[in-house]
Amino acid sequence: MSLFQATLGRHIDLSDADKDLLSSFEHQPQTANKHQRLWGPRMRVGDLFILQSGWACSIRATSDGEQQVIELLLPGDIIGLREFTFSHHITEASMLTRGTIQPLHHANIVDVIAASTPLAIALFAIISRQEALLTERMLMALHRSARSRLLHFVIETYLRLDKVQAITLAAFDFPVSQRLLGSILGLSPVHINRILKTLEQDEILKKFRGHIEVYDAQRLFDEAQFDSDYLGNEMHGLKQRLALLSPGAA
Amino acid sequence: MSLFQATLGRHIDLSDADKDLLSSFEHQPQTANKHQRLWGPRMRVGDLFILQSGWACSIRATSDGEQQVIELLLPGDIIGLREFTFSHHITEASMLTRGTIQPLHHANIVDVIAASTPLAIALFAIISRQEALLTERMLMALHRSARSRLLHFVIETYLRLDKVQAITLAAFDFPVSQRLLGSILGLSPVHINRILKTLEQDEILKKFRGHIEVYDAQRLFDEAQFDSDYLGNEMHGLKQRLALLSPGAA
DNA sequence: CGTACCTTTGACGGCTGTCAAAGGAAGTGG
DNA sequence: CCACTTCCTTTGACAGCCGTCAAAGGTACG
């Protein structure tokens, strides 16, 4: 089963028909280079991309001449799901690392929704969780210090990665420059650097070029005041309703 | 046609069957009092509410003891759509003014999605636009001054209201206290007050208890650097695909 | 081997939060 | 109709987090 199916299956139980339908969209994954641009602002919405390996992001240019990262996309995510009902892109999307992607025309999402209610609900679950991620980031931006925000983001990213493929907190891949960290958190690169410096001095963690090493997980979580409620996958009530809808569906 | 149908119909063309289906959910609207609480954090997700008149919001308590408004809900909006795939609420939802609401069990959303692909797409369009609203607010929070953010929010709210029912920018209802404005924008009430003072001195606008009067729309838009792209409703490509799906659907 | 990007460090300034206190407006109960 | 309470608005003084500017060293890549 592919990463993408696993992502959808995290929220609902996939029937064999659902799996077949999804497989038909995952034919020949393409290799995407680092910094490869998938679309830009004002471009017509066409293909979305299932990210099968590597990291990507969507970006907006801000009025003050900076770049703001809107969402960080990890393996298993759908790049552009949040914009598939728009006629034109507002964001730019590009790869942060080399990776593999699977194009999927936005109209095909309509086909998926028409073909399978469970898959439609799973897509709602995914988009709702993206929104929850965004909400949490806004909360952090408005009510937390830069240091706490950075720690929060490290934990969030670790947990998202760990869900896709088990990794260790003591040392995990993190191909994000200080400048990019600033674009994600809305902080200046200079300040990011100062924070990382103190985190290293305090023996909490150290960010290297391509990875992070965590020395003191306890203090990491304490200072980040991380509450993982918003990352949950459970959907009790709706699963029952879905079962009722198609008791004999293959 | 109800406000709710108009909201959905902004994105797609509703068939008669779609309208009938929606009507079956809009039986007996209830009156909701000011400050009435619709749900609280950690409560099981059950009913959503179609807001037919009045203003509402969803709120999160932050770790620093403040309240952060997550979303402002206006007539025609669905309260809780963003959480219908979760098993438990994270937010609290409550009325900001007296109004009328129509309960709708979250499992019924599944029925709607199963019954009509166009309605399912319309729901995706709505949730995607909520996410776009949130994204824009985060962008403002990270890259704009408090004054510009406040002006941006005034324009955004005016445009959202105007879409539901034509109003005039020179004077429109705005039942939001300075304290609440702070909770929405993530600013202290004290600072909100100072900004409103200068806006009044600069003869741009004045906020009264229950409404806003705009004196200088030009400067309002200039200072807010408002770009309305993210509020758009168009969905060209997908409408064509929907038409293909059910050429003869009633 | 050169060029571009990333990281590091210091000095300085401003936007916005906190604390405190007082007056005004609205709703409540007698 | 009045007394009381509660919330909202207003204002001043002060402090701190974080951005900006500038410059230099380090690292990767062609």
* Distance in angstroms (rounded) separating the CA atoms of residues B99 and A68: 38
Contact A70, A91 (CB under 8 A): yes
| A32-38: average pLDDT | 94
Q: Which nucleotides of D are covered by protein (CB under 7 A)?
A: 7-13, 17-22, 27-28
Percent of chain B with pLDDT over 70: 98
B221 near A CB under 8 A: no
Residues whose CB is below 7 A of strand D: A 64, 145-147, 186-188, 190-191, 209; B 177-180, 189-190, 193-194, 196-197, 209
Contact B159, B173 (CB under 8 A): no
* Distance in angstroms (rounded) separating the CA atoms of residues B87 and B90: 10
3-state class (DSSP) for residue A177: coil
Please, what is the average pLDDT of chain B?
93
Percent of chain A with pLDDT over 70: 98
Which residues does chain A have within 8 Å of residue B124's beta carbon, measured at their own beta carbons? 84-85, 113, 123-124, 127
Contact B101, B29 (CB under 8 A): yes
Query: What does chain B look like in DSSP terms, one character per residue?
Result: --HHHHHHHTTSPPPHHHHHHHHTT-SSPEEE-TT-EEE-TTPBP-EEEEEEES-EEEEEE-TTS-EEEEEEE-TT-EETGGGTTSSB-SSEEEESS-EEEEEEEHHHHHHHHHH-HHHHHHHHHHHHHHHHHHHHHHHHHHHS-HHHHHHHHHHHHHHHHHHHS--BTTEEE----HHHHHHHHT--HHHHHHHHHHHHHTTSEEE-SSEEEES-HHHHHHHHT--GGGG----HHHHHHHHHH-TT--
Contact A152, A204 (CB under 8 A): no
Does the pLDDT of residue A246 top 70, yes or no? Answer: no
In whole angstroms, C10 C1' to A182 CA is: 20
Contact A120 B125 (CB under 8 A): no
Q: Cβ of A189 < 7 Å from strand C?
A: yes
* Distance in angstroms (rounded) separating the CA atoms of residues A177 and A35: 13
In whole angstroms, D16 C1' to B127 CA is: 39
* pLDDT tens digit sequence for A169-226: 999 999 999 999 999 999 999 999 999 999 999 999 999 999 999 999 999 999 999 9
pLDDT confidence band for B247 (50 / 70 / 90): low
* Distance in angstroms (rounded) separating the CA atoms of residues B40 and B54: 20
Contact A249, A230 (CB under 8 A): no
Compute how many other C-beta atoms are within 10 angstroms of the C-beta atom of residue A27: 8
The candidate with the shortest Cα–Cα distance to A154, out of A190, A202, A205, A78, is A205
* Cα angle value B32/B38/B44 (rounded, 5°): 155
A230 near B CB under 8 A: yes
Which residue of A lies nearest to B46 if distances are taken between CA atoms? Answer: A237
B113 near A CB under 8 A: yes
B191, closest nucleotide (Cα–C1'): C16
Helix count and strand count (H, E) for chain A: 9, 11
Which residues does chain A have within 8 Å of residue B82's beta carbon, measured at their own beta carbons? 128, 131-132
Upper half-sphere CA count for residue B176 (Cβ side, 13 Å): 29
* pLDDT tens digit sequence for A113-159: 999 999 999 999 999 999 999 999 999 999 999 999 999 999 999 99
| Global confidence as pTM | 0.94
Does the pLDDT of residue B249 top 80, yes or no? Answer: no
Contact B87 A236 (CB under 8 A): yes
